[in-house]
Structure 1
């Protein structure tokens, strides 16, 4: 039954890729289509409101500056709201202002689409803060990532001279994708008993006569965009393990598909832009192959249970249920774990800190690679970065100037790609080492063994990959962890984005080179294998020693 559940969800996902990808392509192709009749008037009103009289294409520098300035304004506004929330309306539970370093961490976390939570949502934020800051940035950060991914694809595939207009892409991402989809999913979740209210916390009397406080609020509205935008920040501290956020297996599947479907459709969108759907399916196939490998590792590890407990003769027929909800079981917990880290969402329906060592290795490795579907555009951009690298290496081996989609790959592009590739492990491994070397960092580690290394490594990896999930045994609400992870989240988000926009800007200016008999094809099974091999080799060279010190060593110790 567990395998059947996995297969059914995977089948639904694959069936959604083509129609959803076609829709997204029509949103951003800037070609007239039937959707203009519905969304056009609203968008033109927004353009007039923000003073966007002309929607000319931008250079990569102007595109990058536009999204950076937009994000800076949103960060400043959000910081003020969180610090002053005790003075603002819609605060029936009288929650005070947020502490400085925690506020810094929170606004950086949500603007970077990470949604790492060093606070507990139901006790740390007012309803106004949940809606005006958290939900608002869930929309805007997702729209920013989506826009940058589309701009990068245009740079690779377009024969024009620009990569599009950021503000037009940003508005369309809201009006045509996230707002309508989030509205529908919110209504579905409400129908499935997820709360949506502005009433204060309920106080009820139990059968034993004790008073119990039950937090409620606009949960369904947050849940929908939390998953659609691959955000992950939960209304409640325990996230989607909470029965108000995720009541039953049906809502569990809806939430998984919500966070997975859009990232999975982007390779198809890329194929449409390239006017060669095989290109998109090769990228999708590479992502899915890696995903299935990690899902298999997680599922089998959790199904086998804890080796140390099994050695004591305990009943292992149910697998390792520690930290998991009985209503989901091993299969849906393992699938949720793999999806949420593949799509860099960070939402959790079980506690990753309680996974078996190899079960915890899979989500950790997915975030380290950061290209197994990925979040809103991040996974596609990173996988295409590896595709360009694979073409470059293959070109060197056969003595040809490498070409990708009709454009020559030259030293400038490879230098920028090298920056993006090397920055990711650097901003994970160096801060992890600092955390384990300093008293302030070690103070948050609650397990002194190999698992403690995994706790610190997972926190920094999650921050750098803009995922947001964590090994929740880590005591992370301290100035050290708030500031350090805040900096890592900033670097993890913007270094790669700016570098890849620069690559797109460089390629879009180049003349198109027609294919010849000697052109290295990137739309066949051979390139699928080369692409997977490139990802795994780069990942192993950069992260294998750290993984050996953490989950691998813990697994061998338990055995």
Structure 2
């Protein structure tokens, strides 16, 4: 328990530090590193002939989507032609068309759902270009969209996508990725471009062991909340995550940028007026940060408690089960750090795993799915805050009408056109998960490896992970076929870009309104009362949409095992 508390405390401190830094670089405030990065950025603008004019929400969305689309096409072509391209010492064949499409969409949408085993399906060139490029582009693009979204709510111009992308990439993501990669290499994470080497096992058999640019991928994999690993075993593989220090850094990396975005937004709100003085994140930022934190802590407590319970099917055996559920876990991490990793990777929608989620106890699986279904407990880089802001506006609208107050947020009236967009943004997420899961039960039930409740959980988890752009999975599911590759590609694409465009449209709509001063009829949104009401609204909507299917899967499995 103490190590978990310490890790969470370190994460909070880092979010305050990097949140302030993110606020400065995205609002063009002076930093101590400007003398290094200003010439670099200016050179990039000159070479790429970047027009740094402010964009409308339509222009911002369009340029973001086009830029992402071009990166996805580049990766897609590489996956299709990798057997004809150099840096393929293990002679790996090209990916099939449907798997190439799924993989390209998966990585550009920040999902990194892998229907393949990385070391066996991708060449070193594909890993170093197609995979690494989309990891950087998707993570930074989400952060750019979030900062434009936040600026619009604070009454500022949305900014320029290419300028935001350049500044966040050069001043935050690239330097941190480089530093983290060096730390990983020092701890034994593999970084080379060698072919597979062979060794003789204790069973006197020859085994091929893959290596490659693992450390470089591991850093952006977690910092960009991507999640896709070089190896099929992901962060449970010692070459990716050899010890407790690398495990700690991976957890902190996943939490860093999403939590920093909330702090940066809080500072934007606080500094809308001049001479506001020094604050950590402001009252409004603290309310949103607190709501996200409590939702995350609830899931962590459920997962931690569930994993301390041994499987009742083993109770008749003479086994020492004091360590809880160790099936599918690395002993170097145990149940404690495995539980924390599972909670973080699904709440922050990263998708990397240091244990096999298919081996989690049923309540843990339910809690990890709920994290992705809510997708507001910090979420991925930038998008988690945008998702929570949708619920904030909804909460303001409902509460204001109930008590006869004016539905306003940050001096902007909430009108019918915004509520229509908000309703659409909220409905797309459960619609994709539930409809596609129903289709999966009808057309792909032969893909599940477990009958009954757990089999339904495998299908539900796959589409929840894809729609929430998480990428983790219950790996008993046989998902590398035409149905799963195309259906999850559709879920990932719509779950990323449809919702993101609607959210930017909402921000643009609020930006077009005049800011009004708060009065006695304005509902206060920077109080503890509002924070708890916000949490209740989030869980009420989750119960109305997802509770029945969770009951039929994870809850029913838990009851069948323990009662």
Match of 1:77 in 2: 74
Distance 1:389 1:315 in 2: 50
Matching of residues 78-117 of structure 1 within 5 Å? 78-117=75-114
Asked if 1:253 is matched to 2:251, the reply is no
Which range moved further: 137-146 or 257-266? 257-266
Distance 2:140 2:46 in 1: 20
Tell me the CA shift for residue 190 of structure 1.
0.3
Which range moved further: 516-525 or 446-455? 516-525
Match of 1:516 in 2: 519
Match of 2:487 in 1: 484
Match of 1:142 in 2: 139
Asked if 1:171 is matched to 2:171, the reply is no
Tell me the CA shift for residue 36 of structure 1.
2.5
Distance 1:548 1:512 in 2: 45
Match of 1:27 in 2: 25
Structure 2 residues not aligned, in runs of 5+: 272-281
Distance 1:310 1:472 in 2: 26
Offset from partner CA, 1:311-338 (integer Å, 9 cap, x none): 6675321101000000000000000000
Match of 1:185 in 2: 180
Asked if 1:546 is matched to 2:549, the reply is yes
Distance 1:323 1:142 in 2: 29
Match of 1:533 in 2: 536
Asked if 1:133 is matched to 2:136, the reply is no
Which range moved further: 106-115 or 266-275? 266-275
SS in 1 for 2:207: strand
Offset from partner CA, 1:285-307 (integer Å, 9 cap, x none): 11111111111100111101223
Tell me the CA shift for residue 473 of structure 1.
0.4
Asked if 1:448 is matched to 2:463, the reply is no
Offset from partner CA, 1:102-159 (integer Å, 9 cap, x none): 001000000000000001000100111001111111000001100000011011112x
Distance 2:387 2:405 in 1: 24
Match of 2:222 in 1: 227
Distance 2:29 2:233 in 1: 44
Distance 2:310 2:3 in 1: 19
Distance 2:315 2:26 in 1: 53
Distance 1:76 1:262 in 2: 27
SS in 2 for 1:213: strand
Asked if 1:457 is matched to 2:492, the reply is no
Tell me the CA shift for residue 213 of structure 1.
1.1
SS in 1 for 2:315: helix
Asked if 1:273 is matched to 2:268, the reply is yes
Structure 1 residues not aligned, in runs of 5+: none
Offset from partner CA, 1:88-115 (integer Å, 9 cap, x none): 1111111111011100100000000000
Match of 2:388 in 1: 383
SS in 2 for 1:84: helix
Task: Extract structure 1 runs of 4+ deviating beyond 4 A.
Answer: 311-314
Asked if 1:324 is matched to 2:329, the reply is yes
Distance 1:522 1:314 in 2: 53
Is contact 2:111-2:351 (8 Å) kept? yes
Match of 2:117 in 1: 120
Offset from partner CA, 1:263-286 (integer Å, 9 cap, x none): 112111111111161111111111
Matching of residues 218-367 of structure 1 within 5 Å? 218-275=213-270, 277-310=282-315, 314-367=319-372
Match of 2:558 in 1: 555
Distance 1:555 1:312 in 2: 20
Match of 1:10 in 2: 8
Distance 1:153 1:125 in 2: 38
Is contact 2:406-2:523 (8 Å) kept? no
Distance 1:13 1:525 in 2: 22
Tell me the CA shift for residue 382 of structure 1.
0.7
Tell me the CA shift for residue 401 of structure 1.
2.7
Is contact 2:395-2:537 (8 Å) kept? yes
Match of 1:217 in 2: 212
SS in 1 for 2:447: coil
Is contact 2:406-2:521 (8 Å) kept? no
Distance 1:261 1:215 in 2: 30
Distance 2:12 2:75 in 1: 37
SS in 2 for 1:510: coil
Distance 1:72 1:552 in 2: 39
SS in 2 for 1:13: helix
Distance 1:85 1:527 in 2: 53
Correspondence for 1:50 among 48, 64, 74: 48
Distance 1:208 1:473, change over 3 A: closer
SS in 2 for 1:321: coil
Offset from partner CA, 1:444-488 (integer Å, 9 cap, x none): 111121000000000000000000000000000010000000000
Asked if 1:424 is matched to 2:429, the reply is yes
| TM-score, normalised by the number of residues in structure 2 | 0.96
Tell me the CA shift for residue 32 of structure 1.
4.1
Match of 1:475 in 2: 478
Match of 1:436 in 2: 441
SS in 1 for 2:199: strand
Match of 2:63 in 1: 66
How many residues align? The count is 552
Distance 1:376 1:176 in 2: 16
| TM-score, normalised by the number of residues in structure 1 | 0.97
Distance 2:550 2:528 in 1: 30
Distance 2:135 2:494 in 1: 19
Match of 2:279 in 1: none
Correspondence for 1:155 among 152, 158, 162: 152
Tell me the CA shift for residue 308 of structure 1.
3.1
Distance 1:314 1:191 in 2: 38
SS in 2 for 1:203: strand
Match of 1:371 in 2: 376
